[in-house]
Amino acid sequence: MTSETIVAIAVPLEPELVDSIRAVDPSVTVLYDPELLPPERFPADHSGDPGFRRTPEQENRYWSMLNRAQVLYGFPNEDPAGLARIARENPRLQWVHAMAAGAGGAVKASGLDQATLGKFHVTTSAGVHALPLAEFAALGILNGFKRSAELAQDQAAKVWPELRTPTRLVSGSTLVVTGLGEIGLETASIARALGMKVTGTKRTVEPIEGIEQVTDNDGLAGLLASADAVVNTLPGTPYTEKLFNREAFGAMKPGTVFVNVGRGTVVDEDALLEALDNGQVSYACLDVFAVEPLPQDSRLWDHPKVMVSPHTSALSSAENRLIAERFCSNLRTFLAGGDLPHLVDTLHFY
């Protein structure tokens, strides 16, 4: 470790949060030039205004700044191609902190080989988004149990049904969470507060306090048989692709509520539509999709039992602050020579 650690801010960030990074340690020099960064259109708009363009001189200054740093806050231009370029051009690079919780896909999309990826670390903002995602998952569960889609349709049509239809109690029901990481455990915590029993999956099977049963994905079908609701938080990897297929939906009880706040590739969307049509799934709350933006011809847009969210459920007005606080904590660990948390696995890309 050199006596000076240079951190370059590669994405839009408020000046006061830049100052908080500067305050971590006297040995830290922070390179930050807001003129070179696209303006945010909304809180935590890490890509910034897509209409923003640097002049050739500004472009040179941007990359010159990044190439001086050992540490980057954000992917250059918030883009896999930017990560690939900085990895090729900056021999000093030791660590890049990604804004996303699931940055593995972007690292994979950079096309960098294992030898190059082995020269520096990439950490994610996993955990920062756990609470808003868990709250959204709870919204999905409650929507399904309390028939919010049907209520909205009746209200739009100004229909007051002659026969009253009962709703389902969340308390006493069973939730299956696929992926008992930080998001999954936060979801489980809220679910237990609502009175739900929680089971779930984890790559490393081990007892978890408050979780009644833990299995790996091989045991998922057994859990689904007793589920009243299912929340997926899994990342998109070759091992999770279309985990929720026809067989998985068929293993569920009729009327199961399904929520996806993980990655869209974990779900076979054709199989989900079949399950919605035949009643195996009574309601689906989806924040992520196999192809994003969701294609206009997707049946999910118009399905009466589906809520479509445009991959925004993790966003909150506090996100930039929370990511900066996470980065500052990681930076202290980095300066002390410790092991950085939330490293991207460059073999499985999660």
The active-site residue, picked from 147, 246, 311, 321, is 311
263 assigned to active site: yes
The active-site residue, picked from 4, 59, 247, 292, is 292
348 assigned to active site: no
303 assigned to active site: no
Please give the distance of CA 325 from its chain centroid, rounded to a whole number. Answer: 18
The active-site residue, picked from 97, 121, 129, 263, is 263
As annotated, the active-site residues are 263, 292, 311
